[in-house]
Amino acid sequence: MKKTVLITAALFAGSVTFAQTGEITSNRGENWLSQDGDWGLTFNANPLLNYAGNLFNGNTSNDIGGGLTFLSNDMVIRGKKLIDANTAYRGQVRIGFGSNKETVLVGDVTSTTTPQAQVDDVKKVGYMNIDLGAGLEKRVGSTRVVGVYGAMFNVGFGSGKTTYEYGNSLSATNTGHTNTFGQGAGVTEMKNGGTFHIGLNAFAGIEWFCAPKISLSGEYTWGLNMSSTGHTSTTVESWDAANNTTTSTSTDGGTKRNNFSIDTGVSGSAMLGINFYFQ
């Protein structure tokens, strides 16, 4: 029994050792903690935690619960650069552009052939989302549990637009566009209200290094956040029989929103992440 205990202790000591400098190394000489010059990437930990829960009980709808809020925008890339053992620059970025096009064949109203010739009605959807952030992180501790604190500034904006093109032009014999996509009579363009947000937040939390250069983190944030969303705009094309021409009118709608808060995090909850460090 005594021999077994000694062997177990020796194996543990060989797998994780504390150097005289306070560093923690594995039996391969790998440093568990992040170091001066390391780069880091941070991912949302929620999918990993949910997968672990599903794996153990066969459920496909596990969630860690409503008491925690996770990194709020999964499409933002988050990273850091350690400039010394106790200090890191943080950054986040999303530069997103996208488009989608749908084409539907409809009858050509000027066609005199049988079968009737066809033309294209086209729907185009486009969007843009930008999110940029920068901050400073301070790190405390030389064990596998490291305290972190600092401040982060971020700014973002976005927009979206849908346009409709009709194969049949308006005329005295075709006074109304087809409602091919359910967009409404004669709609040629729908603009979403532009969005803008800005935030300045302090954060504090911990990182637990569960493997060499890999850590789980939990943080609280507190600070100032402001956001705004503008009115939507809809443009409609119609036939003006009195002047024998087409007319185009634009109207604003929807709800314009402005938000301001000085509060703790998102809904006052923590944020969980998983961090990978490398040089």
Write out pLDDT tens, residues 36-64.
999 999 988 766 665 454 545 555 555 55
Residue 44 lies in domain: 18-278
Rounded to two decimals, the pTM is 0.75
Q: How many CA atoms lie within 13 A of 213 on its CB side?
A: 15
Residue 7 lies in a domain: no
When divided into structural domains, the chain yields a total of: 1
Read off the DSSP letter of residue 113: S
How confident is residue 209, by pLDDT bands cut at 50, 70 and 90?
very high
Residue 159 lies in a domain: yes
Neighbouring-strand partners of residue 100: 125
Write out pLDDT tens, residues 141-173.
889 999 999 999 999 999 999 999 999 999 999
CA angle 274, 146, 49 (to 5 degrees): 25
Rounded distance, CA 40 to CA 56, Å? 30
Residue 160 lies in a domain: yes
Residue 55 lies in a domain: yes
Rounded distance, CA 253 to CA 235, Å? 11
Is residue 20 predicted with pLDDT exceeding 60? no
CA distances to 96, 160, 254, 275 from 129, in Å: 5, 9, 20, 25
Residue 212 lies in a domain: yes
Rounded distance, CA 158 to CA 172, Å? 40
User: CB under 8 Å to 38, separation ≥6 — which residues?
Assistant: 81, 82, 213, 277, 278, 279
How high is the pLDDT of residue 14?
38
β-pair type (214-229, 232-240): unpaired
Looking at every residue in the chain, the average pLDDT score rounds to 84
How high is the pLDDT of residue 43?
87
Residue 62 lies in a domain: yes
How high is the pLDDT of residue 109?
94
Residue 13 lies in a domain: no
Residue 5 lies in a domain: no
